[in-house]
Amino acid sequence: MIATPLHLLDCAIVSDGAAAAIVTSAERAKDFPRPPAYLLGSGYGVRHSHIGEHTRITETGAIDSGRAAFRTAGLTPADVDVAQLYDCFTITVIVELEDLGFCKKGEGGAFVEGGRIALGGKLPVTTHGGLLSAGHPGVGGGFFHVLEAVRQVRREAGARQVPDVNVALAHGNGGVISVHCTVLLGGADTRTS
């Protein structure tokens, strides 16, 4: 036990690591050797600074960042083929699934049962292993989720590739579940122009 009710395997693996991406216009990306991931929508949400002032602890800024991302993309959670969710602790994933609209508040635990978020499940989550199983180097740790979303929509994720991915969601939070960002990335089939 680390801190009730979280055991060792409920907590992220502290590690070294770094991540980077090239951000450019869709026009310029045409000249690049690799296919781009298109930014379909994004959102941001913050509901507290210190968690001590949080008066609705089961709800996070992911509600706001998710709504904004889906609104700007013109998509709904049902359109997401794979979700890379910030998983500093196991409970974080469950709360984010609820707040991003994949299931109702309080139903996240039941939602993840039965392999639904595993490879081969209806909504594969954090397919690169995430902070819980791949590593957590701080800020770079959150960006791994973005890179995995890019790899999935490019369909170059190898053995962990989810079939027929068109839309991937990546979500990060910082502070103490304080600041939330959601992006929706699309592959070539989401780009009509």
Partner 1 sequence: MTVEKPLPSPDPVTAPYWNAAAERRFVLPRCEDCGRHHFYPRSVCPHCGSSQLAWGEVSGRGEVYSYTVIHRAPSAAFAPDVPYAVALIALEEGPHLMSHVVGCAPGEVHIGLPVQVDFRDAGDGVLLPVFAPR
CB of 113 to partner 1, least distance (A): 24
Ramachandran angles phi, psi of 18, nearest 5°:
-155, 165
Write the DSSP symbol of residue 115. G
> Given the complex with partner 1, which of 6 and 110 has the nearer CB atom?
6
> Given the complex with partner 1, which of 55 and 193 has the nearer CB atom?
55
Helix or strand (DSSP H, E) at 63 = helix 62-73
> Given the complex with partner 1, which of 8 and 23 has the nearer CB atom?
8
> Given the complex with partner 1, which of 25 and 55 has the nearer CB atom?
55
**Please, are residues 185 and 153 in contact by the beta-carbon 8 Å criterion?**
yes
- Please report, as ranges, the residues that interact with partner 1 according to CB under 8 A: 1-6, 50-55, 57
CB of 52 to partner 1, least distance (A): 4
Q: Which of 120, 184, 186 is nearest to 153 (CA)?
A: 186
CB of 8 to partner 1, least distance (A): 9
Residue 74: CB partners within 8 Å, gap ≥ 6?
40, 41
CB of 137 to partner 1, least distance (A): 19
